[in-house]
Amino acid sequence: MVVRAGYGEIMPEIFNGNIREAFSVRSGVNMLTTIDAYDGAFSMQNSFTSQTIRKGAALKDTLKQIARDLVEAGKDAVVGGFEGKSGRGTAFFGPTWKVLGTYTDGKCFMDSRRFFALEKNEARDCEIPVIGPETGLLGTPRRAEASLEVEMIFEPRLVVGQAVKLQSTTAPEFNRTYIVIGIEHRGTISEATAGAPCVTKASLYFGTAKLKKPGTQTEIILT
């Protein structure tokens, strides 16, 4: 299932995944359909790895090799600058998603049925480099234990893993560069039904290391 949303002719893809469950129920005079879908679910559930990696192989290359076993998601996998080499030949056997999660220490995710493995200070290229009043920032950012929660007017171009610069006038102490680790869109998009305004909530990783492009030493500077 592919979901696109936006403004006018600008309709970015905000979801591309597999339907897990779908059902319809009557609500008054209307029939409502609920769809439960997961990004990369088919790859996670149906991929299996049985490989032996040679002694001295770089961890980054090993992750790329294993990622090729991901059904649908491994062809254009993005792997960042994971350091280290295998001290001996290693056999990998089991569900591919579990193997990748173990050897990236959980630093991997799916986005639009594409596999990403990024270090905590690595970020993807993006179209929306700034979140501030001029780009639709709503209210005051809220600090969580290890992240910052911000809300803005519906922004379909925001993606998980990208770098973004926060420019808040009500909480300037939080203004700096972050990595987006979670996105939630909510609201009603319908020509037939009026509903709540469309809002995007972004979770920003509250790290301190300088951000860089995946697999490089190139620092990301947003203006």
Q: Read off the CATH number of the domain in which 78 is found.
A: 3.55.50
- Residue 151 is assigned to a structural domain of this protein: yes
What pLDDT does residue 156 have? 94
State which H helix or E strand residue 49 sits in: strand 48-53
Please say which residue of 62, 95, 117 terminates a domain: 117
Using the structure block, give the residue that is written with the tokens 């234990």.
145
Q: Do residue 131 and residue 222 come from a single domain?
A: yes
What pLDDT does residue 216 have? 85
Q: Do residue 165 and residue 220 come from a single domain?
A: yes
Q: Do residue 147 and residue 88 come from a single domain?
A: no
Q: Do residue 151 and residue 70 come from a single domain?
A: no
What pLDDT does residue 21 have? 94
Q: What angle do CA 80, 82, 110 make, to 5 degrees?
A: 45
What pLDDT does residue 8 have? 86
Each residue's pLDDT, cut to its tens digit, for the chain (223 residues) gives: 999 998 888 899 999 999 999 999 998 888 999 999 999 989 999 999 999 999 899 999 999 999 999 998 877 899 998 988 877 888 999 999 999 999 999 999 999 999 999 998 999 878 888 999 999 999 999 998 889 999 999 999 999 999 999 999 999 999 999 999 999 999 887 777 777 789 999 999 987 778 888 888 888 888 7
What's the structural domain count of the chain?
2
Task: Tell me if 198 sits within 8 A of 188, measured CB to CB.
Answer: yes
Distance (Å, whole) CA 151 – CA 201: 4
What pLDDT does residue 146 have? 83
Sign of CA dihedral 105, 110, 115, 120: negative
Question: What domain range includes position 177?
Answer: 121-223
Question: Across the beta sheet with 177-186, what order do the strands follow?
Answer: 130-131, 163-166, 177-186, 199-205, 147-153, 137-143
Please say which residue of 85, 117, 149 terminates a domain: 117
Distance (Å, whole) CA 88 – CA 93: 16
> How many helical (H) and strand (E) elements, i.e. helices and strands, does the chain have?
3, 15
